[in-house]
A and B are shown apart, each in its own frame.
Chain A
Amino acid sequence: MRTPKAKPRGPVAPRSVLHFQIILLLGIFVAWWGLVKLDIIPQFFFGDPVGVMQRLIKWFVTGSIWTHLINTLIETMLGFVIGTVSGLVCGLWLALNPMLARVFDPFIKAANSMPRLIFAPIFALWFGLGIWSKVALGVTLVFFVVFFNVFQGVREVSPVVLANVRLMGANRRQLMRWVYLPSATSWVFSSLHNAVGLAFVGAVIGEYLGSARGVGYLILQAEGVFDINSVIAGILLLTVFALLLDIVVSRVEVRLLRWQAPVQAQTVQAQTVKTPAGQVQAVQA
């Protein structure tokens, strides 16, 4: 579990960070391409970047990818949303009922330590081969991450703030809205970054084990004919979409957690970048 606020802002200006990242990415592709071309690693098992790109382009040009991609994204989103909401509700509920929390404690720990991917075939039996068995898998993965973070978040509420708000006359519902939820939010968001990845895992593994469409299904088909480029193309595609979803989460996080002090307070001066012309330009934080 990540702790909230774990977002150190280094002294490096954001733009040069981006430069480094792009260079690193290109470097990886060039190294991969070079190693394959020089036959240091076998192309049969590792594919090659150019072939992967061609495959991706073909998928999008013919439009054959859309049905798979949309299917996977729907499963992921459903797993993500249902898992998050149920984790949030259960986490709040149990955290505010210590008695219940104690009763449920061993059960929750047991359920969490179970290797839940094993349930994929069972879910296929229960929910069929459509999207719902994949959603169910995603939910079981996402739920616990969110649940434990919310639970922790509620426990971490500052007792002084809580006492103060209670003395100001807040009732239970108001306490929830004014204290518990906002206090848990930072914990929820730190868990959501993990949850995005897990929702994808649930969807793709579910598809991999039995389905008629989806990116996981595509990868399985490609593996069946040793089409390694398609496998890698599928994985890359999933990665990109997981990243995009993570960016969306980060955006929402920034909006909702405006009240949080950055780990290291920064002045406006520190957030400026010197442009080559020597002018100082403010950068949007």
Chain B
Amino acid sequence: MTITMSSTLRPPPSKVAPLAAVELKNVTCQFAGSGGGTYTAVSDVDLRIEDAEFVAVVGPTGCGKSTLLNVASGLLEPSSGDVLVFGKPLSGLNRQSAYLFQADALMPWRTALDNIAAGLLFRNMRKAEAEAQARDWLARVGLRAHADRYPHQMSGGMRKRVALAQALILDPPILLMDEPFSALDIQTRQLMEDELLQLWSVNRKSVIFVTHDLEEAISLADRVVVLAAGPGTRPVAEFNITLPRPREVSEIRMTQEFLELHTAIWQVLKKEVLKSHAHAQG
């Protein structure tokens, strides 16, 4: 196994490159700062996610991971730069993607079942059929008995699972996930990770998976992208994860290759985390 680390992040564009699922070119995001100035969260980011590729993005807290996902989903228009989705410039919302938000995004006034069926109903599917599919997904995420619960009646982990079903039921080619499992306990989390890998192996989507958990990133992804500390974050390194699939997250973490990868990536990440920490201290 080889650990490949490229400091120039993108391979030189080859003429016959297949269309990337998502491609960020020179993306810069500036926000209005507190003191009237501007805060550059993301600066000159080039990022390419191939079709059916699982990319994990790690980086210190507050560096701009969610911002990048917002850009990829079309919710946030970058201050400058281009977003291409399957080769086409993105304008408006990214209809090819589903987004699992970091924060709770279920409709609190709808039951678990309704929340999951919603996207299908928006696509004018008949109600009975949408609900049947939603029930199916509810079972797949292990919540068969909780169809009629409202979000406030569910635990944080259950809500995340409903959100996962809500995103996957639409069967989008691109899946954007923002720390989807960070609120879960270790056991549930590994179950969900395995579940995600299993679902993904059956139906390979392009995934951008943001996490602050390096182990999670390595055990799930084909590629791990490390973002620099903010302000003006950009990818500083990326690692190809050559661990064999199918993977079982709890087992793969014990392997030698995993540990080597972990050490290598952590060295890069640690530097950024320390920088971010020093910056936050002022």
Contacts and interface: CB of A to CB of B under 8 A. Distances in A.
Interface in A147-172: 158, 160-161, 163-171
A258 B149 CA distance: 11
A168 B100 CA distance: 11
Contacts of A259: 108-111, 150-152
Contact of A167 (B97, B110, B151): B97
Interface stretch (A93-101, A174-182, A187-195, A268-276): A174-182
A40 interface: no
B152 A166 contact: no
Given A161-B106, A258-B150, A260-B108, A168 B119 contact: yes
Find the residue from B122, B150, B151 having the highest chain A CB count within 10 A.
B122
A163 B152 contact: no
A261 B93 contact: no
Contacts of A164: 99, 101, 105-106, 166
**Interface footprint category on A:** 20 to 34
B229 interface: no
Contacts of B24: none
Contacts of B122: 168-171, 174
B92 to A, nearest CB: 10
A7 to B, nearest CB: 15
A183 interface: yes
A167 B98 contact: yes
Interface in A99-113: none
A284 B30 CA distance: 53
A178 B118 contact: yes
Interface residues of B, number: 29
B75 interface: yes
Interface string A235-270: 000000000000000000000001111000100000
A168 B99 CA distance: 9
Contacts of B121: 174
B15 interface: no
B73 A167 contact: yes
A259 B93 CA distance: 29
Given A259-B150, A260-B152, A167 B106 contact: no
A170 B106 CA distance: 14
Interface string B123-154: 10000000000000000000000000011110
A176 B104 CA distance: 20
B279 interface: no
B109 A183 contact: yes
Given A167-B93, A169-B119, A179 B107 contact: yes
Contact of B104 (A160, A165, A179, A185): A160
A260 B151 CA distance: 9
A169 B108 contact: no
A129 to B, nearest CB: 44
A253 B145 CA distance: 27
A125 to B, nearest CB: 45
B173 to A, nearest CB: 14
B103 interface: yes
A178 B152 contact: no
B105 A163 contact: yes
Contacts of A165: 107, 118
A130 to B, nearest CB: 41
Find the residue from A161, A169, A170 having the highest chain B CB count within 10 A.
A169
Interface string B82-108: 000000000001110111010111111
Contacts of A265: 152
B170 interface: yes
A112 to B, nearest CB: 29
A178 B119 CA distance: 11
9 contacts: A161-B106, A164-B105, A167-B98, A169-B123, A178-B110, A182-B107, A258-B150, A259-B111, A259-B150
- Sorted nearest first, the 5 A-B pairs with minimum C-beta distance are A261-B152, A164-B105, A168-B119, A182-B109, A259-B109
Interface of B: 73, 75, 93-95, 97-99, 101, 103-111, 118-119, 121-123, 150-153, 166, 170
Given A259-B109, A261-B153, 4 more contacts: A164-B105, A165-B107, A183-B109, A185-B109
